[in-house]
Structure 1
Amino acid sequence: MSMHRKTITLTEQQENWVKCQIDGGHFGNDSEYIRHLIRQDQHSQERLLELRQALKKGEASGKSRPLDMSAVKRAGRKLTKAAE
């Protein structure tokens, strides 16, 4: 994997935060921390896309029905007994 050098500008507060993360032993250097943040953002964006797709699928599935809490409780009790 090729690496690319970037220059970023941080506020003093942001710089202190990054330094604390490194000094705390969480990361070896600034680059490791920035790459970690990018991976987290990528994961969050992927999860958001999955949720949006699930919402669209749910909306397209038709009209919803009222929730029968008694049936939900019965099913939960049945699963609990089966697990015992």
Structure 2
Amino acid sequence: MTTMNISLPDSLKSFIDDQVIERGYGTSSEYVRELVRRDQQRQQLRALLLAGAASAPTAPADADYFDSLRGRVRNQRG
């Protein structure tokens, strides 16, 4: 694992320290890593949503579609 040093104003440092205590993180690094992971996930979700919005329309997601989806899930379970 590599190290990264960042400079923060006192108010942000205090906020991070408070979050570490309140949320049960072991260190400020754990808290910051979690924030970065969440941002990565948010960006991935955004990309998926934009790709879906740009894709061609398909059949509507009506009751029959969801019934079929439930059936496929049940069949995969065994």
User: Equivalent residue for 2:52?
Assistant: 54
Equivalent residue, structure 2, for 1:39: 37
Say what the alpha-carbon RMSD is for the aligned residues: 2.0
Kindly tell me: are residues 9 and 52 of structure 1, through their superposed partners in 2, closer, same or farther at Cα, counting changes over 3 Å? same
Once the two structures are TM-superposed, the CA of residue 25 in structure 1 deviates from its matched residue by 4.2
Task: Please state if 1:5 is matched with 2:3.
Answer: yes
Q: Distance in 1 between matches of 2:18 and 2:57?
A: 49
In structure 2, C-alpha distance between the alignment counterparts of 1:16 and 1:41, rounded to whole Å: 21
Structure 1 stretches of at least 4 aligned residues deviating more than 2 Å after TM superposition: none
**Amino acid in structure 2 at the alignment position of 1:16:** S
Q: How does the TM-score come out when normalised to structure 2?
A: 0.68
- For this pair of structures, how many residues does the alignment match? 61
Q: Runs of 5+ in structure 2 lacking a partner?
A: 68-78
Q: Percent identity?
A: 28
Q: TM-score, normalised by structure 1?
A: 0.64
